[in-house]
Chains A and B, each alone.
Chain A
Amino acid sequence: MKALGIAATGMLAQQTNVDVIANNIANANTTGFKSGRAAFQDLIYQSMRQEGALTSTEGTSRPVGMNVGLGVQSAGVIRLNTQGGLSQTENQLDMAIEGLGFFVVNRPDGTQAYTRAGSFQLSAEGQIVTLDGYEIDPGINVPDNTRQIEINQEGVVMAYVDSDPVPVELGQLTMATFLNEAGMKPIGNNMLEETTASGEPTLVNPGEPGVGIIRQGYLENSNVNIIQQITDLISAQRAYEMNSKAIETADAMLSTANQIK
């Protein structure tokens, strides 16, 4: 009897499910966080009787087969790439992307990562950096004595320096889009990496057709729907219990078998 092992795969799957839900709930207030969902698939089947096998010399064949499944497996965690709500912060270096695209971040090791969390700061050298101090790409230097920074929807960064009423253009922010955003790998600190599944990044300017625009002074909230997460948590718990019931039953059957005298 394989029921014990099969039910165990079911319990493991629900544990993964609860882990993913817990991570979503923990990140409900993380800027730019995208909610994840554990996705399950049925495991392979063991064929006990082959359908179509001949049952007589006259050529009659078995219309149905006997295939016993071996449980369930996690196929992955799907990130839900919907737009998060925007909240106004009035911080002039806070930027939210409305639509598709990611900010490009230069990591200290020379590689690039991508983020939707636009809570940027100025470094000691006047660079626009992430909360971890990583420079955004292309690097933008803000001169000393800047009164105010203006970033328009197309990502052009302008600064009002000293008492000059005419702004100085500092640079153009670019964004990256991916063929398969769901294939990007989350690496923590609000950042994602490209993978072979996501495809190569396409660099675009904000506001181009099909690409998002930048909203200065806003941050993108996480897209975690707390009510949904709580109801998912309840059903995961019940599914876990149901699988443990299957283990109990299989156990009782084996104990019955042991008592035959």
Chain B
Amino acid sequence: MSNADYVSLSLASALQRSMDMSAHNMANASTAGYKTMQPLFEAVQPEGTEDTATSYVEDRGMYLDTSQGAFVATGNSLDLALSGPGWLSYQTDGGATAYGRDGRLTINADGQLSTLTGAPVLNQGGAPITLPQAVGQNLTISTDGSITDAEGAVLGQIGIFRVPEADNLVPIGNGLYLYGEAGADITPATDTTVSQGFIEQSNVRPVIELTRLMDIQRAYERAAKLMSDSNDLTRQAIERLGSVI
């Protein structure tokens, strides 16, 4: 195979990865708090050669589009949506701290506020929030995340944090994202407000994803065409050189 084949092959495999990512975004169009994933392509030149004309495509990585999702009113007292750049924090099964924007909360068997899959939501100090037995869903969550019962007694405060370079957060599923460097520079967010009775929809934009699909499909066809063309060239060369003799 020639360089042209390998260059088009690198494009084709990067596009397949990109297609998987688009399909994942679309599958999660109705997932509350989901952030669109974007692929990151890069031109790679082979090392140690004089060949500067050839560069391959590599899908280097991915990043999150952390833009705000639309709010949907649900009227459920345990649904909350964040407006602003802050993140909620959760405890994973392994005891690590994860971040996310999924505010569809429930109360787990231990009386703790948790996500739908049971990961406890943490307060500003990083501890789970346990609600007293009698409260049930009769509670008010104010814009700063503090929880009060029907009589106005404060039961706790949901922690909202500012995560630097949030677009590099690593998704681990169930609406949770891990921060790479042990959370050292994570500080409480003061510019984010909580709305009770709302959920934040995913920020997947269907039109963008659909056009991206078309783009991927056509680019893939181009890559395939390049491979076929380069193959044709080789075949023609063999035929002509063969006919001279």
Give A contacts to B, CB under 8 Å: 1-4, 6-7, 9-10, 13-14, 17, 37, 39-45, 48-49, 51-52, 62-72, 75-76, 78, 80-82, 100, 177-183, 196-197, 199, 202, 209-210, 235-236, 238-239, 242-243, 245-246, 249-250, 252-253, 256-257, 259-261
Residues A199 and B133 in contact, CB atoms below 8 Å apart? yes
A256 to B62, CA, bound (A): 26
Q: Contact check, A69 vs B224: say whether CB atoms are below 8 A apart.
A: no
Please judge, given known A-B contacts A42-B34, A249-B217, whether A6 and B27 are in contact too, CB under 8 Å: yes
Residue of B102, B107, B170, B213 touching A179 (CB-CB under 8 A): B107
Question: Which residues of chain A are within 8 angstroms of B107 by Cβ–Cβ distance?
Answer: 179-180, 182-183, 199
Q: Is the CB of A14 within 8 A of B30?
A: yes
Chain B residues whose CB sits within 8 angstroms of the CB of A6 once the complex forms: 20, 23-24, 27
Q: Once bound together, how far apart are the Cα atoms of A13 and B210, in whole Å? A: 19
B116 within 8 A of A: yes
Interface core residue of B27, B209, B228, B231 (most chain A CB under 10 Å): B27
Residues of A within 8 A of B137 (CB): 81, 100, 180-182
B231 to chain A, nearest CB (A): 7
Contact of A7 (CB < 8 Å), options: B15, B26, B74, B78: B26
Please tell me the number of chain B residues within 8 Å of chain A, measured between CB atoms: 68
B4 at the interface (CB under 8 A from A): no
Q: Is the CB of A246 within 8 A of B213?
A: yes
- Does B97 count as interface, using CB distance less than 8 angstroms? no
B20 partner, pick from A2, A40, A75, A209, beta carbons under 8 A: A2
Residues B102 and A64 in contact, CB atoms below 8 Å apart:
no
Chain A binding surface SS class? mixed
In the assembled complex, the Cα of A71 lies from the Cα of B20 at a distance in Å of 9
B 50-87 binary contact with A (CB < 8 Å = 1; else 0) = 00000000011111000000000011101000000000
State in angstroms the CA–CA spacing of A196 and B109 once bound together: 6
A72 to B, closest residue via Cβ: B27
Looking across the interface, which residue of chain B has its beta carbon closest to that of A44? B173
Chain B residue, CB-CB nearest to A244 = B26
B148-188 CB contacts (< 8 Å) to partner A: 150-151, 168, 170-175, 180
Not counting A65-B62, A71-B27, a sample of 16 additional A-B residue pairs whose C-beta atoms are within 8 angstroms of each other reads: A2-B23, A3-B22, A10-B23, A17-B30, A37-B74, A41-B31, A66-B62, A67-B170, A67-B171, A72-B31, A82-B75, A180-B107, A245-B213, A246-B19, A249-B217, A261-B228
A253 to B223, CA, bound (A): 11
Residues of B within 8 A of A246 (CB): 19, 22-23, 26-27, 213
Q: Cβ of B216: which chain A residues have Cβ within 8 Å of it?
A: 249, 253
Query: Are A62 and B61 in touch, CB under 8 angstroms?
Result: yes
Q: Which of B1-27 contact A (CB under 8 A)?
A: 12, 15-17, 19-24, 26-27
Instruction: Name the interface residues of B129-143: CB closer than 8 Å to any CB of A.
Output: 131, 133-138
Residue from the list A43, A64, A69, A252 in contact with B63, Cβ < 8 A: A64
CB distance from A17 to the nearest CB of B (A): 7
B18 to chain A, nearest CB (A): 9
B29 interfacial contact with A, CB 8 Å: yes
> Which residues of chain B are within 8 angstroms of A48 by Cβ–Cβ distance?
17
Nearest to B116 among chain A residues (CB) is A75
A253 touches B136 (CB 8 A): no
Bound Cα distance from A51 to B64, whole angstroms? 14
Once the chains are docked, how many angstroms separate the CA of A49 from the CA of B39?
A: 12
A75 to B23, alpha carbons, bound, how many Å? 19
Residue B40 at the chain A interface, CB threshold 8 Å: yes
The answer to whether B193 has its CB under 8 Å from any CB of chain A is no
**Contact sample, A vs B, 13 pairs, CB 8 Å cutoff:** A17-B30, A41-B173, A42-B28, A66-B61, A81-B137, A100-B136, A177-B136, A199-B109, A210-B136, A235-B30, A238-B206, A242-B29, A245-B210
